[in-house]
Amino acid sequence: MAVRKNPRKKKTTLFLWVSLLPAILILGGFILLFVWGFYQSLTDLRFGRARVDFEGLRNYDYLFGRSRFWDSIRATAVYAFTAVAFEAAIGLALAKLFNSGVVLARWFRPAILLPLVLPPLSVALMWTTMMNPETGVLNYFLSFVGIEGFTWTSKANSAMFAVVFIDVWTFTPFFALIVFAGLRGISPEIIEGARINGAKAWGIFWRIELPMILPYILLAALFRLIDSLNQFDIIFGTTQGGPGNATDVLSVSAYFTAFQNLYFGRGAAMMVVNWLMVLISAIFVVRLWQYARNRVS
């Protein structure tokens, strides 16, 4: 439904504020916590110790001087950007396939939703049991194509691939759903007109369809990128950051820093850096999205 400006809408009243107040109070509480967490990142807060000193940027200074922290930043970025790139490509193909109108595509369309409705932690554990190098069913399938004993999450050089693989399986359907909506929004007359003028199927896809669904792809990418940069469940459920620190993304690293080593201030500082990564990436994708949308209209 199109958004319509309605001049008849009522002016601000008491009723408006009473309606908004409960939600604002609840969400406002979280804003306070967020600010509090930010403040804690500037202290030497440790669990179980009463004394807390404000020490400015010392946590950040400490973190930025350690190569392990830079490894975490790199792991977070590698995880999120490769996962989203694969999800965009496969999601586009999946949406085209299920939009083709063949009979099985219409029957099985609800199947796309399946990975999205399962708890991400259950998905992570499900794949963990399947990825076992000795007895896992995935290596059984791989043995048919001549690959024996792939290490999946058990070795540092394949662990990142394995966790990205799980993310891609789980969230590619999200891309497919949104691109699907974009494809349905293209009027058949435009495609028909191009075909009459002699355009080939590939030409129609590259010149007409892709530019028109690009805003949808970027919107899905925005949501997925934010979620992947924050991803905790899938990595905690499979590798917990290991082996070594091969998949030690910031959120998992911050969890262990705060709740296992009890350096709360330092853990909060790691999350602040993670949040800044999310913010910068999100602004970048929003700019791209605005550019793509203006080019279409």
Partner 1 sequence: MNRRLISLCLNICVLGAVAVLAFPVVWIVMNSFKVAADVNTWPPVFLFDPTIENYQVLFDLADANATNYGTLKIEFLKPVINSTVIAVGAVLLSLIAGVPAGYALARYEFRGKDDLAFFILGFRFAPVLLVVIPLFWFFQSVGLYDSYIGMIWVYQLVTLPMIIWLSRSYVEDIPLEIEEAAAICGASRPRIMLLIVLPLLRPGLVGASLLVFLLAWHNFALGLILTAKNSPVTVALLKLLNPGLSFYPVVSAGLVISMIVPIVLILLGQRHLERGLTFGALK
Of 236-295, binders to partner 1 (CB under 8 A) are 236-237, 251, 254-255, 258-259, 264, 267-268, 271-272, 274-275, 278, 282
Phi and psi based region of residue 146 (left: phi greater than 0; alpha: psi -120 to 50; beta: remaining): left
Q: How far is the CB of 149 from partner 1 (least distance, A)?
A: 11
Q: How far is the CB of 72 from partner 1 (least distance, A)?
A: 13
List the x/- string, 6-45, binding to partner 1 by CB under 8 A. Answer: x-xxxxxx-xx-xxx-xxx-xx-xx--xx-xxx-x-----
As beta bridge partners, residue 54 has 43
213 sits near partner 1 (criterion: CB under 8 A): no
Q: Which of residues 67-106 bind partner 1 (CB under 8 A)?
A: 94, 97-98, 100, 102-105
Q: Which of residues 142-201 bind partner 1 (CB under 8 A)?
A: 169, 173-174, 177-178, 181
**Distance, CA of 281 to CA of 260 (rounded, Å):** 29
Calculate the CA dihedral of residues 286, 236, 245, 149 and round it to 10 degrees: -110
Calculate the CA dihedral of residues 169, 172, 176, 178 and round it to 10 degrees: 140
Question: Cis before residue 243, ω within 30 degrees of 0?
Answer: yes
Q: How far is CA 139 from CA 7, 129, 136, 265, 281, in A?
A: 63, 11, 6, 42, 36
If the CB atoms of residues 24 and 210 are measured against partner 1, the closer one turns out to be 24
**Member of 28, 66, 68, 113 binding partner 1 (CB under 8 A):** 113
Residues near partner 1 (CB under 8 A), total: 90
**Distance, CA of 243 to CA of 67 (rounded, Å):** 17
If the CB atoms of residues 124 and 160 are measured against partner 1, the closer one turns out to be 124
DSSP code at position 48:
T
If the CB atoms of residues 120 and 241 are measured against partner 1, the closer one turns out to be 120
Identify the three-state secondary structure at position 104: helix
Q: Which of residues 42-61 bind partner 1 (CB under 8 A)?
A: none
112 sits near partner 1 (criterion: CB under 8 A): yes
Q: Which of residues 117-146 bind partner 1 (CB under 8 A)?
A: 117-122, 125-130, 132, 134-137, 140
